[in-house]
Chains A and B, each alone.
Chain A
């Protein structure tokens, strides 16, 4: 069994896994909020079912714990259940704890390789460039085994879904961006997605933040640790967290702004990884850090009144990243910004707040279920005739791009940063 957190930070206070799971009274009010339950109608793929399965595992009452694997691995971790739950039962965290209980320790060689890559963004960048080079040559079959060997099977399977293969990563763009002037108005936390897969998003965020808040600077952060937290080893996630906390502490007092809602939501939960008695000092530092972290959509929301409208290109809509909506409670902020930047062309799409089925590695590990969820999502965009759908996290960008390619080629997905930057660029140009 992999190491578990053991204690969770719940809406009702810090609780052991068992108490957190027992908080579910089985009322079932969460069911229709859960995309996998709606898709399958199976109790084991509902939040209530998952909470009960983890509880039974903790009680040692599940005859065959392996049977829990499907139920727990299919959880999108979208947290929509927690949003509707009165007791705020932390089902995503419980599902992760359950997965850790089921998971063995990885081979030391794999672990070492993945740590080397994740901990040093430059090494990862070099590695990815080789991979993207192969991909552009149509040689994905060469890069995938490399990624697997490096302990990144998630990225390897993701390869088949992703069309992006940028020549230059964000780190290559940064010198030019920084040259335009740096300041203390904000710290840019570059999540791995905008940094290594969608550098256009990272660059847009930088431009938009500069235009709205004045010059800031790059935090030169490490990976947030979400992948390690969800799929790897907790200790790796803690190592990354400590590094990021230290860098932020050394970089002054400014807000740390990130542009992948999944990562940002995770940064805000850093304290949960330090609930052990021995970790009290780090817990306090993590709490101070978490209080400084902002999702870039919050910044845009607070500046919405001053946002110009972008040049119109058909109906614009917004898809909630689960980790912005359910993870951080950001419903109105991104919409305010999207509405302002879209001028009169913004239309709310039905079920905008339902998970797209991307959910980190979910789309790659449970393709059929993810596809079912994705089809409904694309249907929502079709129903309002959306041409541009805005969102705020990397896995939504990947998943919606795939979904629109497949079910609704008329629409494009953009990060809210790209759209806001475009509107601001247009104003400067005018």
Chain B
């Protein structure tokens, strides 16, 4: 054992540090192709082990990479720069389940299925259900912000984590909660792929089991018809818990692994409804007639739980079933606005033909999340190169159509270069500053998420879609910040509903009330991009005219004020993206128009509760609903936090190094 690690060995549980050649070899991979060999592996037995190990790593500047079940599909668990792998697989106790509060407190190594099993007898379930849920861990799910079929209705992991205890890259232990004042640091850690610290304990929300669940299978003669049916179902105000699509090739490979009873049509939808029995009954009728209206050749309901489970086994095993065709499967994870699915499928098929590969298509169709799977043999370098090139081109197509690089698998090392296609240099630079603020020595899972210098570039024909042009009012504010002499401070002011205090002496007021336009109302995709200065009541009025609904309070004050002050925690749930004006004049685009997006840090949610100290919110993108949703008509009064946590201060400095925004809040 190399000398320094013997030093670490004395600080952790005996026998928990592994350094044999075989151990190092098997911790050099995850579910993807990339490899990186650690120098040692710690099978942590306690949070103290994790803290001791990270403190030691920080003192010695040894990189460390967390690992749960190691099922990551983007190289997220691969120790790219060597160092220490910290396995959390043995921290697997469910510490408590509060049935009334519907909260479970778990260690990070708890397997998703084990939590489901523990919750079910209490009439509850844990909503995120990645295909790997039988083996993957809650900690890993949180680090990757995992989704799964059910997230169409219930949201992804970030919508279900209420608080977490984390060991930060300097070895200190901290607890973050949605109830904390100040920026939502918890949201920053969820989906950060272990690059900002390790989660050692999580409080997650459990959901009551629905009274009834019904699973329908519909076969279509063409994929476009299936996608149209998906849009029609959602536009009709029916929100299934899952809306999955598969092409014929995928269905055939699933059926080859054992007869599961899928339809043999060129495109198959798996639709699952849940809720009170009467609603499910009614919605099943609507779904069936809409599917038939779009040309479904057959619509069939699973007769019993066993048949339902078989259908789902087939869906979950679709990726693994391809493993029967060849040793390796590249599984891409692009996401596009839902109505762009037919277009992206056409492009993907063209790309596959051009690269002489066969793509098996599997979608979370309701979310616009598409998984083209390509079976190949990594032992054939020429084939591997073709497959990787095809995968890159497919992602590029998703970005061009206004989508994103990853709906649920993460960026890891696999897609880090593609980050430069999706995000502007200004946004990437902000991501880097956040990383530097929390992990100045880049010890936590280094080399991930950020493009490597000289990384792969998109082809010459690549065109990033242009964002909606900002209104004149927004342009005016951007110009005001950019032209202000250094040293000038700003006070951001909306409707003064929540924070009427006067601006500090000499500060320039940035008034948002002119930014009150809906920039984009996308009926096909059911998303809304609206400027932040719009009063919430005006927004609701306008949407009522369109017969559309948004899950935001119908209350006094502006949208920007609601987001910045966060008097209503629900504001985070349907937030898809925002544009933020930084104190240096940069405009950064966070998130986008897709309902599932795990590319980069979740900075839009971090901004919630930051009281304008991170940036001025220009506009925000929200999910829309075709049917009315319950929203509050008032929100509690709130005041800016009196004390900012050390981590909030660090994040603030990353966004606004000179403290120019709302400087009186300190």
Contacts and interface: CB of A to CB of B under 8 A. Distances in A.
Interface of A: 12, 22-32, 40-44, 46, 48-49, 52-53, 56, 61-64, 67-68, 70-71, 85-88
A48 B87 CA distance: 16
B18 interface: yes
B379 A27 contact: no
Given A32-B111, A62-B22, A63-B21, A25 B328 contact: yes
B319 A27 contact: yes
Interface in B320-376: 320-321, 323-324, 327-329
Interface stretch (B25-33, B500-508, B588-596): B25-33
B20 interface: yes
B21 A26 contact: no
8 contacts: A12-B324, A25-B323, A26-B30, A32-B134, A42-B89, A43-B27, A62-B21, A86-B321
A54 B661 CA distance: 59
A64 B324 contact: no
Contacts of B26: 43-44, 46, 48-49, 52-53, 71
B323 A87 contact: yes
Given A25-B320, A42-B87, 20 more contacts: A12-B324, A22-B379, A25-B323, A26-B31, A27-B132, A27-B320, A27-B323, A28-B132, A29-B132, A31-B135, A41-B89, A41-B92, A52-B29, A53-B26, A63-B21, A64-B20, A64-B22, A67-B23, A86-B320, A87-B323
Contact of A25 (B23, B113, B257, B327): B327
A42 B132 contact: no
Give 4 nearest A-B pairs by CB, closest first: A41-B89, A86-B320, A87-B323, A67-B22
Interface in B110-133: 111, 113, 132
A71 B22 contact: yes
A63 B21 CA distance: 6
Interface in B22-59: 22-23, 25-27, 29-31, 43
A126 to B, nearest CB: 43
Contact of A22 (B30, B90, B327): B327
Contacts of B327: 22-25
Nearest to B32: A26
B69 interface: yes
Contact of B320 (A42, A63, A87): A87
B148 interface: no
Contacts of B609: none
B444 to A, nearest CB: 21
B22 A42 contact: no
A86 B323 CA distance: 7
Given A25-B320, A44-B26, A87-B320, A31 B69 contact: yes
Given A27-B319, A28-B71, A41 B324 contact: no
A31 B132 CA distance: 11
B109 A70 contact: no
B135 A29 contact: yes
B567 interface: no
Interface residues of B, number: 38
Q: Which among A12, A26, A30, A62 has the highest number of chain B CB atoms within 10 Å?
A: A26
B70 interface: yes
A129 B490 CA distance: 95
A63 B329 CA distance: 27
Contact of B25 (A53, A86, A88): A53
Contact of A29 (B21, B87, B320): B320
B323 A23 contact: yes
B573 interface: no
> Interface majority SS on B: helix, strand, loop or mixed?
loop
Contact of B23 (A12, A28, A30, A44): A44
B281 interface: no
A239 B319 CA distance: 42
Nearest to A37: B89
A248 B292 CA distance: 60
B409 to A, nearest CB: 12
Contacts of A56: 25
Contacts of B20: 44, 64, 67, 70
Contacts of B21: 62-64, 67
B377 interface: yes
Contacts of A71: 22, 26
Most buried by A among B71, B132, B327, B379: B327
A62 B25 contact: yes
B22 A44 contact: yes
Nearest to B253: A86
B132 A25 contact: no
B317 A43 contact: no
A28 B21 CA distance: 20
B111 to A, nearest CB: 6
A71 to B, nearest CB: 5
Nearest to B131: A29
Contacts of B18: 42, 44
A52 B23 CA distance: 11
A68 B22 contact: yes
Nearest to B329: A25
Given A22-B377, A52-B29, A42 B135 contact: no
Contacts of A40: 43, 90
A344 B628 CA distance: 53
A48 B70 CA distance: 10
A27 B22 contact: no
Interface in B63-114: 69-71, 87, 89-90, 92, 109, 111, 113
B491 to A, nearest CB: 52
Contacts of B111: 32
B22 A28 contact: no
Nearest to B73: A27
A226 to B, nearest CB: 26
A87 B326 CA distance: 9
Nearest to B22: A67
A30 B71 CA distance: 11
B414 to A, nearest CB: 14
A70 B22 contact: yes
Contact of A32 (B25, B113, B329): B113
A52 B317 CA distance: 21
Contacts of B31: 25-28
Contacts of B43: 40-42
B324 A86 contact: yes
Nearest to B318: A86
Interface in B534-565: none
Nearest to A31: B135
Contacts of B30: 26, 28
Contact of B70 (A28, A62, A64, A86): A28
Contacts of A27: 31, 71, 132, 319-320, 323
B135 A53 contact: no
A64 B22 CA distance: 8
A41 B132 contact: no
Nearest to A30: B135
Contacts of A87: 320, 323-324
Nearest to A39: B90
A128 B323 CA distance: 48
Contacts of A24: 323, 327
A87 B324 CA distance: 5
Nearest to B85: A43
A49 B41 CA distance: 14
A384 B600 CA distance: 49
Nearest to A49: B26
A31 B26 CA distance: 13
Contact of A53 (B22, B320, B379): B22
A74 B377 CA distance: 29
Contacts of A22: 327, 377, 379
- Which residue, of B18, B71, B87, B321, has the highest number of chain A Cβ atoms within 10 A? B71
A43 B90 CA distance: 11
B25 A52 contact: yes
Contacts of B136: 28
Nearest to B88: A41
A20 B47 CA distance: 39
